[in-house]
Chains A and B, each alone.
Chain A
């Protein structure tokens, strides 16, 4: 199968270290004595717990329902008793606790009712709902709810569906083993995604250091009579980044500001596709995942692990060597140090690496940047990392945005090649979080300002209304007086005087009220105009306007987590 491949710029070739963990087939990790299932396991809304402490649950039973569209459900990984719903340490660099359902397995591992379905008989909307309720999320590591990526852009047809089996992170082999052992089901799952997106072509990208996986997938495609292309792509980190793989296979470059569907392409991790197939064709929600356990352990291997299994139980399966000093979750390029082994395996846990001082030597002391440009050469997004670094250090965050800091996918290539050993990614994360928190502050301030203005407007409106009421009353009285002159004349002098007084004052009042209401109306109009066109942007150059528009777009993208996350989802895993 000859197909023109495209090249992405930059990238690095770290030692892959994949061989140790592919020697044994995928093992079934035993059930631990307790499962801690976090309710929030996707980018998006946090599901609400549906069970009570003391309740019996069955394997696959819904325990947390999707909260809103951009969320994914969570299920009981086995049958047993709910002991508690409480905060438990999360598998996150911060180690902060997250609301988790604690389940004591009963050992029977008894399934709840499963309903196998054929996606072709269902409305697309229904399929998306089913995927959401089965908890299908991007298993490459980004855990973006998959159903939310399964809608084509309004105006652009999906030309290519890219299935990401590249798995470029060193050490990681979970997708490799999945493709070797479960190629058929993975390939079957692709049809669901293809049909929902009405994709014209399907390209399965696998790094060429996994010939067994390539062969297995090719055989499965052939056997199922599909017209998918299995493409071996050159091994170079981060070829498994969604954007890099899309580039290599289709030549399209998806900028940070766009969704890939806007360019007629979408990308899913192969493990995601597999779980989608299990969810529909077998009615099995996502309750386990394949995790590579490797590094400084006696027995490196891939395990199918129930979600919620404490990492301590998982790690014990590999028998860590004595000098193991720390554990990484994810690969060494983009992963993080696990702060606490009590944290559970979650949908994002693709790989756990036991580290030792010899495996991951201390990084040499940081030297000043010598502007050698090696980082720019290695950056797959063609950024100028050293410029970003200078600006981030100087806390000149506006400049970092000008130099496209939000296009940085934190792949770590720049840090990898830097002769001065500058932890560049750390600086970029710092800059990004600073910008985010400033945006949040600004949004809060904007909201407060809006509230304040609303209150002012209301007070003003009430005042005007009151004045108008007064004016109406006065006119009414004048009219009344005019209508009844005789009566008034005939009336006793005392009340007439009072009426006279009222009449003489009323027109003046009415005049003032009229003026006031006109002034108020003008004020309102001005305020409206200003709201439409902020004053400080009136006299800007075209360039500045464009810049502001770009910043606004970025801000909008930040406000809408679907967008950037969509674009970067499943970046690692694969």
Chain B
């Protein structure tokens, strides 16, 4: 019994519990994802988890930290899952391993381990891989592709030729490419209505994956694992900018709803900008952080060269966190009327 200091009773909470709930929160999105692209995603999740735990164990051992305590905290698995969910589902196995190791070894442990990393490790993995392997990172399976488990496994293991099945694109990508090729002769409403890749209000199928993340995120909020500030800021920033441009020219820009349910929007809103370690800590800071990520993500996704902008936007804002936190310190008890 540790009688050195009060309080002598503690709440029922631990890092492991927090991380476990984050993982649970991801499940609805994962389920929809499996339904959409097949079991390959489970394989990717497993590989990422394995790679993350291996990297974590290695680094803990090198740094002389207690292995059991930190390996079981669940933080590496959260990172691993976020990586698996942002990488193309049929990417070769080594891509996800490289990305995960990069996140755990470099972004996490070289910065001091749990709680010390200024950048979101999963986003580092994404950024590093999309810069280093842009082609592989943009090969998404063609929609409705029904591959057997065996074929999926072969693709991931690198035992089957990739080219023919991998010409798909994410809905965001498809939209951007079509607009670029059309040179003004096509407009967004027609595209959305005619192309197969688009569904009711966003990418076909992807709508449901996003809805899954939304569901899980709301659950986390209800469990008080995350606060609403960063997600709302993010979704607000994204949809405000989207709405402004959409109202200005609906021919050229997709609706805010489309953007909310496309790409990494909802995953980002509830599972990435909410990362406590690399995000802001004050309530106003979280709003500002989320909002800025939203605005930047939209900008990069629509005007930049990458299919989605969440990763870069998050990393950029990670840099600003200390500053935002410093300037958004809330007034304390009894000092609210002070100048």
A residues near B (Cβ < 8 Å) are 8-9, 12, 14-15, 170, 243, 247, 253-256, 258, 325-326, 328, 332-337, 355, 357, 360-365, 367-374, 376-377, 380-384, 386-387, 403-404, 407, 410, 412, 415-421, 423, 425-426, 429
Task: Check B8 against A380 for contact (C-beta < 8 Å).
Answer: no
Secondary structure of the B side of the interface? loop
Which of chain B's residues have a CB closer than 8 A to the CB of A410? 6
Query: Measured between alpha carbons, how far is A395 from B279 in the docked complex, in Å?
Result: 24
The 9 closest A-B pairs by CB, nearest first: A255-B334, A412-B7, A368-B115, A337-B3, A253-B334, A426-B5, A381-B333, A332-B8, A372-B276
Task: Check B333 against A421 for contact (C-beta < 8 Å).
Answer: no
Q: A255-B334, A376-B282, A412-B6 are in contact. List 5 more A-B contacts (CB 8 A).
A: A253-B336, A335-B8, A370-B114, A384-B329, A407-B332
Query: Measured between alpha carbons, how far is A203 from B206 in the docked complex, in Å?
Result: 59
The chain A residue sitting closest to B3, CB to CB, is A337
B residues near A (Cβ < 8 Å) are 1-11, 13-15, 17-18, 66, 69-70, 73, 75, 113-116, 227, 276-277, 279, 281-282, 329-336, 338
Most-contacted residue by chain B among A12, A15, A407, A420 (CB, 10 A): A420
Which of chain B's residues have a CB closer than 8 A to the CB of A328? 3, 8
Which of chain A's residues have a CB closer than 8 A to the CB of B329? 384, 403
Task: Check B6 against A333 for contact (C-beta < 8 Å).
Answer: yes
Task: Check B334 against A258 for contact (C-beta < 8 Å).
Answer: yes
The chain B residue sitting closest to A414, CB to CB, is B7
Query: Measured between alpha carbons, how far is A384 from B6 in the docked complex, in Å?
Result: 19
Secondary structure of the A side of the interface? loop
Which of chain B's residues have a CB closer than 8 A to the CB of A258? 334
Task: Check A419 against B1 for contact (C-beta < 8 Å).
Answer: no
B70 to chain A, nearest CB (A): 8
Known A337-B3, A425-B5; judge A417-B332 contact (CB<8 A): no
Which of chain B's residues have a CB closer than 8 A to the CB of A426? 4-5
Which of chain B's residues have a CB closer than 8 A to the CB of A170? 9
A272 to chain B, nearest CB (A): 23
Which among B15, B276, B277 is the interface contact of A367 at CB below 8 angstroms? B15
Which of chain A's residues have a CB closer than 8 A to the CB of B9? 14-15, 170, 332-333, 360, 416
Which of chain A's residues have a CB closer than 8 A to the CB of B7? 14, 332-334, 412, 415-416, 425
The chain B residue sitting closest to A567, CB to CB, is B334
Task: Check B13 against A360 for contact (C-beta < 8 Å).
Answer: no
Task: Check A382 against B331 for contact (C-beta < 8 Å).
Answer: yes
Task: Check A371 against B1 for contact (C-beta < 8 Å).
Answer: no
Which among B3, B18, B66, B333 is the interface contact of A372 at CB below 8 angstroms? B18
The chain A residue sitting closest to B4, CB to CB, is A426
Query: Measured between alpha carbons, how far is A421 from B17 in the docked complex, in Å?
Result: 12
Which of chain A's residues have a CB closer than 8 A to the CB of B227? 373, 377
Which among A255, A362, A369, A374 is the interface contact of B2 at CB below 8 angstroms? A362
Query: Measured between alpha carbons, how far is A9 from B336 in the docked complex, in Å?
Result: 13
Task: Check A9 against B276 for contact (C-beta < 8 Å).
Answer: no
B24 to chain A, nearest CB (A): 16
Query: Measured between alpha carbons, how far is A217 from B188 in the docked complex, in Å?
Result: 72
Query: Measured between alpha carbons, how far is A429 from B66 in the docked complex, in Å?
Result: 28
A366 to chain B, nearest CB (A): 10
Query: Measured between alpha carbons, how far is A381 from B227 in the docked complex, in Å?
Result: 19
Which among A367, A380, A429 is the interface contact of B73 at CB below 8 angstroms? A367
The chain A residue sitting closest to B18, CB to CB, is A419
Query: Measured between alpha carbons, how far is A337 from B281 in the docked complex, in Å?
Result: 34
Task: Check A243 against B333 for contact (C-beta < 8 Å).
Answer: yes
Known A367-B114, A374-B13, A417-B13; judge A255-B281 contact (CB<8 A): no
Most-contacted residue by chain B among A14, A360, A382, A419 (CB, 10 A): A419
B67 to chain A, nearest CB (A): 13
Most-contacted residue by chain A among B2, B10, B75 (CB, 10 A): B10
Query: Measured between alpha carbons, how far is A140 from B279 in the docked complex, in Å?
Result: 41
Query: Measured between alpha carbons, how far is A380 from B334 in the docked complex, in Å?
Result: 11
Known A328-B8, A370-B276, A371-B277; judge A382-B69 contact (CB<8 A): no
Which of chain A's residues have a CB closer than 8 A to the CB of B15? 367, 370, 419-420
29 contacts between A and B (CB under 8 A): A8-B333, A9-B333, A14-B9, A14-B11, A15-B9, A170-B9, A253-B333, A332-B7, A333-B8, A335-B6, A355-B3, A367-B14, A367-B70, A368-B114, A370-B115, A371-B276, A373-B276, A381-B333, A383-B332, A383-B333, A403-B329, A404-B332, A416-B7, A417-B13, A420-B115, A425-B5, A425-B7, A426-B4, A426-B5
The chain B residue sitting closest to A256, CB to CB, is B334
The chain B residue sitting closest to A244, CB to CB, is B333
Task: Check B333 against A365 for contact (C-beta < 8 Å).
Answer: no
Most-contacted residue by chain B among A325, A365, A372, A386 (CB, 10 A): A372
Which of chain B's residues have a CB closer than 8 A to the CB of A415? 6-7, 10
Query: Measured between alpha carbons, how far is A384 from B280 in the docked complex, in Å?
Result: 12
Most-contacted residue by chain B among A243, A333, A370 (CB, 10 A): A370
Known A367-B69, A416-B9, A419-B14; judge A381-B3 contact (CB<8 A): no
B47 to chain A, nearest CB (A): 25
B329 to chain A, nearest CB (A): 7
Task: Check A419 against B333 for contact (C-beta < 8 Å).
Answer: no
